Structure 1
Amino acid sequence: MQNLPGAAPDFKNACVVLFGVNITWVLFVLWAIWGLIAAAALGWCINRVLTLFEARRD
């Protein structure tokens, strides 16, 4: 019996979900330590970076 190479599994959905879970706990920890303004500022910065990645992709 031969082991033929197959297609690699698509982990994109798992990556997106875990990114959401990780960013959620990071924002909660930041909020607990430095307050809501710091958490909101980090969220805004992450949004800007993702917008730049999206613009560069198009």
Structure 2
Amino acid sequence: MEGHKLGRAPNFTGACIVMFGVNLAWILLFLFAVYGLVAAVFLGLVVNHWVSWLEHRKQLEDQRYSDAPADN
């Protein structure tokens, strides 16, 4: 095992995004079936707001680090 070199881990970002969409779809369908359209739309709006907040936060962090002086 001493000669065994570790390779790079595969990028599962695409699979994670697809599974997030699949899970969100069945959760929204379940809410629609049990509680009706209002609950499903409300959860959809909450998730939309959360994703928009994450995007805004990422933009602020990217801007923060792009404006920082380079340490040489």
When normalised by structure 2's length, the TM-score is 0.77
CA apart distance, 1:6: 1.3
Corresponding pairs, count: 58
Specify the SS of the correspondent of 1:51: helix
| Within-5 A mapping of 1:2-13 | 2-13=3-14
* 1:29-56 deviation digits (Å, cap 9, x = unpaired): 0000100011000000000000000000
Aligned-residue Cα RMSD (Å) equals 1.0
Matching residue of 1:32: 33
Aligned to 1:17: 18
Partner residue, 2:45 = 44
User: Which has the larger Rg?
Assistant: 2
Q: Any gaps of 5 or more consecutive residues in structure 1?
A: none
Percentage of pairs with the same residue: 43
TM-score normalized by the length of structure 1: 0.94
Structure with bigger RCO (C-alpha 8 Å, 6+ apart): 1
- In structure 2, what residue type is equivalent to 1:57? K
- List alignment gaps of at least 5 residues for structure 2: 60-72
